[in-house]
Structure 1
Amino acid sequence: MSVLRNIKSLAPLLDRVLVQRIKPEAKTASGIFLPEAAVKEQNEAQVLAVGPGLLDRDGKRIPMGVTAGDKVLIPQFGGNAIKVGEEEYTLFRDHDILAKIKE
């Protein structure tokens, strides 16, 4: 069994999307540090990599809804968790991504 040493060596297949949750701010705008219990895990994530997409009945590639670099809204639960060192990542299917966040 090989250990994944670098997340960049992971290429999602088919309609899978590799994301990393955006960590919530532990400090308010005025500089007050929040206790860990008060900081709720956010459903926002950064897309790191996407698969090529599924094939339709005619063998044509169905385009993905997101691209690497997009900021997205993901479900609170689900996906497949991957841990590389101390960092956590999640693989979702393209249709599980809830929305793209436009900035």
Structure 2
Amino acid sequence: MAAQATFKSIKALVPLFDRVLVQKFKPDTKTASGIFLPTSATSTPLPEATVIAVGPGAPNKDGKLIPTTVKAGDRVLLPGWGGNSIKVGEEEYYLYKDSEILAKIEE
């Protein structure tokens, strides 16, 4: 189980190195007409998320800073595992390494 931390404001959290802070999309559990959907109908094989903040990047073996490949506001596809959970009030966020993010979703 991933470690969980609690913060009063998400703005207080600044990712370091090549870490990416994301908020996963919550699938609708009810249709517009009020019918509740079973978990099997709402779960996706790979979760999607919105990037909230990114770190400056990580140094390569020569010490040159390699920036992250995503930026705040990007929509991304995450692996079905990993990430560190962070609770801010009732909202849950996750920290991933930039290299763990599977894809950026272009719209």
Q: Unaligned regions of 5+ residues in structure 1, if any?
A: none
State yes or no: 1:22 paired with 2:25.
yes
How much identity, in percent, do the aligned residues show?
55
RMSD in angstroms over aligned alpha carbons?
1.8
CA distance in 2, matches of 1:50, 1:33: 38
Q: What amino acid does structure 2 have at the position aligned with 1:75? A: P
Return the structure number with greater relative CO, CA threshold 8 A, min gap 6: 2
1:95 match: secondary structure: helix
2:86 match: secondary structure: strand
Q: What TM-score do the two structures reach when normalised by structure 2?
A: 0.83
Q: Which residues in structure 2 correspond to 1:58-77 (within 5 Å)?
A: 58-77=62-81
* TM-superposed deviation, 1:39: 2.5
CA distance in 1, matches of 2:82, 2:21: 13
* TM-superposed deviation, 1:25: 2.1
CA distance in 2, matches of 1:84, 1:12: 15
Q: Which has the higher strand share?
A: 2
CA distance in 1, matches of 2:57, 2:100: 14
| Residue number in structure 1 paired with 2:35 | 33
CA distance in 2, matches of 1:96, 1:70: 15
CA distance in 1, matches of 2:89, 2:47: 22
Count of aligned residue pairs for this structure pair: 100
* 92-101 vs 34-43, greater mean Cα deviation: 34-43
| Residue number in structure 2 paired with 1:4 | 7
Q: What TM-score do the two structures reach when normalised by structure 1?
A: 0.86
